Amino acid sequence: MLYTKLAKPFFFRLDAEKAHHMVIDGLYTAGKIPGIPGLARGMWGVKDYQELAVDLFGLKFPHPIGLAAGLDKNAKAVDMFANIGFGFAEVGTVTPKGQVGNDQPRLFRLPSDEALINRMGFNNDGADAMAERLAAVRERRIPIAVNIGKNKVTPNELAHEDYRACLQKLYPYGDFFVVNISSPNTPDLRALQHGDELRLLLTTVMEEMAIQAKKSGRGQKPVLVKIAPDMTDEQLAYTVDTISQSGVSGIIATNTTISREGLGHPNAKETGGLSGLPLKDRSTAVIRSVYKQTGGKLPIIGSGGIFTADDAYDKIRAGASLVEIYTALIYRGPELLNELALGLRKRLAEDGFVSITEAVGADYR
- Give one DSSP letter per residue of 109-152, joined into a string: EEGGGTEEEE---S-EEEHHHHHHHHHT-S---S-EEEEE---T
* Cα separation, 248 vs 251, whole angstroms: 8
Can you give the pLDDT at residue 1? Answer: 64
pTM metric for this prediction = 0.96
pLDDT by residue for the chain (365 residues), tens digit each?
A: 678 888 999 999 999 999 999 999 999 999 999 999 999 999 999 999 999 999 999 999 999 999 999 999 999 999 899 999 999 999 999 999 999 999 999 999 999 999 999 999 999 999 999 999 999 997 899 999 999 999 999 998 999 999 999 999 999 999 999 999 888 778 777 877 777 889 999 999 999 999 999 999 988 999 999 999 999 999 999 999 999 999 999 999 999 999 999 999 999 999 999 999 999 999 999 999 999 999 999 999 999 999 999 999 999 999 999 999 999 999 999 999 999 999 999 999 999 999 999 999 999 97
Tell me the CA distances in angstroms from 27 to 13, 31, 150, 175, 303, one per residue in order. 19, 6, 27, 21, 23
Can you give the pLDDT at residue 242? Answer: 94
Give the contacts of 212 (CB within 8 A, at least 6 positions apart): 167, 168, 171, 172, 221
* CA of residue 325 relative to chain centroid, distance: 7
Going by the DSSP 8-state scheme, the letter that residue 181 receives in this structure is -
Three-state DSSP class for 236?
helix
Pairing of strands 115-118, 107-110: antiparallel
* Nearest alpha carbon to residue 268 among 165, 119, 43, 115: 115
Range list of β-strands (E), 2-94: 54-56, 59-61, 65-67, 88-94
* Cα separation, 210 vs 292, whole angstroms: 29
Active site includes 183?
yes
Three-state DSSP class for 248?
coil
Can you give the pLDDT at residue 194? Answer: 77
361 Ramachandran zone, left/alpha/beta (phi>0; psi -120 to 50)? left
Residue type, 18: K
* Measured torsion, CA atoms of residues 293, 296, 301, 302, in degrees rounded to the nearest 10: 60
* Cα separation, 344 vs 322, whole angstroms: 12
Can you give the pLDDT at residue 207? Answer: 98
Can you give the pLDDT at residue 193? Answer: 78
* Cα separation, 82 vs 7, whole angstroms: 20
Going by the DSSP 8-state scheme, the letter that residue 282 receives in this structure is H
Can you give the pLDDT at residue 138? Answer: 79
Tell me the CA distances in angstroms from 175 to 146, 223, 341, one per residue in order. 8, 9, 23
Residues 183, 283, 289, 303: which is the catalytic one?
183
